[in-house]
Structure 1
Amino acid sequence: MRHSTASALQDPGPSTAHLACRLAVLALLALPAPALAQADATPASASPTVTAPDPLVPNVSYAPGQYAKVEGTIVSRKGDALLVRRQNTQELSVVTLTEHTDIESPTGVLNLERKKQDMAMLKPGLFLKVRGHGGDQKELVAERISFHKGALKVTNQISSGQVELKEDHEALETKVNATTDSLNAARSRARAEFSSIATRIADLDAYDEKFTGSVRFATGSAMLTAEAKSTLDSLVSIGKGLNGSLVEIAGFADSRGGAEYNQRLSQRRVEAVVAYLTQEQSVPLRKIVNPTGMGTSKPIGSNETEEGRALNRRVEIRVLVNRGMNAPDSSKP
């Protein structure tokens, strides 16, 4: 009997294995309920807990006064603070808006003009460009923000849940078939348009003089007369509606008095004209090109006579237009 038991321990048969399995099941059933609950909870507690991060925690900081620019997407916004993710990176920057922040979108021919936009348009999902300097809190204080209308449209659609992915193969095939019969004509138009655009781009740095005018001043004076104001009003009226126009302003004096005095006097006359155009006629400062006092240079009359000196006490205004922006589109019939 002892021999058979030893043999069974050394070489357990099917009956022994079956008995061991039954004993293991009974042992598990005998465990108390809390122990089973603890055993079941162990795998869950082993997995890491993911805590949602604060949406306005940057991983990029800026030294106070450091110039920087960021091109990317608004991740979130809290009041005047934006969290912007740089394009194609995981870099997050806090961008602060102030009352001095310029917000604009390109518009006009070739997107050369700028249109002011409202701060409320800066919503999560908007792709934009930010330029500014580092602030005291290591954030980027925005001085200029620009974005395209197309990006704003997509952002608004995303916000209202209206963006739908349309990948209908049959619809696309129908459109392709509809344009096949006019492919050659489309190619011809494309070549003509490309040639026209290339010419206009080449002319973007070229300006043509549209018209000129001048105003006169009394001896030693920089005060605009009623006649001078009327002349300026007429020039502004004529120039309305011109695309890409610029205004050149140069001031002059007669030869009486010292050179330094006449230089200052000619500059004061220029400043008087600029002030009138910007304040009374709302001409944007960006359209006034380098207004300069020229002293006694370039006289148009003899400084030996009163009539000649009166001609030299003047400010000349030249209105220039961009050749590329005002050229006719040769690609259109």
Structure 2
Amino acid sequence: MTTQRRLNTICGAGTALTMLFSLAAVAQAPQQGSVEGMILGRDGATMYVRTSDSPRQIVVLSDGTKATEKGGFLGWSHKDLGVAALVPGLHVKIDGSYDGDHQLVARKVEFSRTSMTTARQIDAGLTPVNEKMAKQQDQLMTDRRDIEATQQDIADAKTKIDTNTQAIASTQQDLGQTNGRIGALDQYDTKDTLTVSFRNGSSVVKKEDKDKLEDFVKQAANTPGAMIEVQGYASKVGNASLNQKLSSERADNVLTIIQQSGAVPMTRILAPAAMGVTEQVADNHSRSGQAQNRRVVVTIVVNKGITGAGQQASMTPDQQSQQIATTPQQ
């Protein structure tokens, strides 16, 4: 009887230890997670996503993260594009596991072809508004110098300042309406650009341009927080669908050279954009003008949150005028 009791006690203790080890193993296992929402912005390998549960979910990317575009009939077509395709404004579904800081380490990111098209259209629409606002701010600075140089015209100059301030406020309102469609997307400052030219009907990068491109990418690698943007164009001559295809192939070939250089990781390269015959920079009635339009523009951009430029963009017109008034003139 005593021996039987001891055996029961030992068995009970063994069962308890087994349950304890099982609970510990479950507690140590990574917590799997899946979120769905819109990309607010990218900062290298860190991506910010707005979901129904969180206004700013941090997602960690890596070169091993799969980014897949779904399209075709019933979304059965899949195309692996890489993390460079993850741009602000894109609606995504992310699968992964949470780390100790509750950051979702992405294993797989999926999005639709329609969502990618919309995100690129939104990004293209922001650029003209930003340029218009910059021109208005430059005009305000010019008017302020006129006041200091000509005292007898100070009353007229103040009227000009008030007019330009109202114009800036109107431009900021337009920008706010545009941003309202997609939320507070990250903005970027342009640090430098390189234009790669192409022969007529060709998407092959010339040897001299390849060398310039590799040197340019090294410059981006040495710029803190820099991202690389690639946009392909075609001249407005010939078949429209062929021109669209050429602009896409040119952008892809330049992106391939950037990737093969190994100077910057994939997480710092934005998705290549095929701009077709938009934004013609020269008259297509001459051969030289057509040559200027057959191009790929490679741009080094830095998040304004890193450079501090975002603080100026968020100021009211009155605050901007006050800052200009207290800034020493050169």
Using CA pairs under 8 Å that are at least 6 residues apart, name the structure with larger relative contact order, 1 or 2: 2
Q: Structures share a fold, TM > 0.5?
A: no
TM-score (norm 1): 0.43
Greater per-residue helix proportion: 2
TM-score (norm 2): 0.44
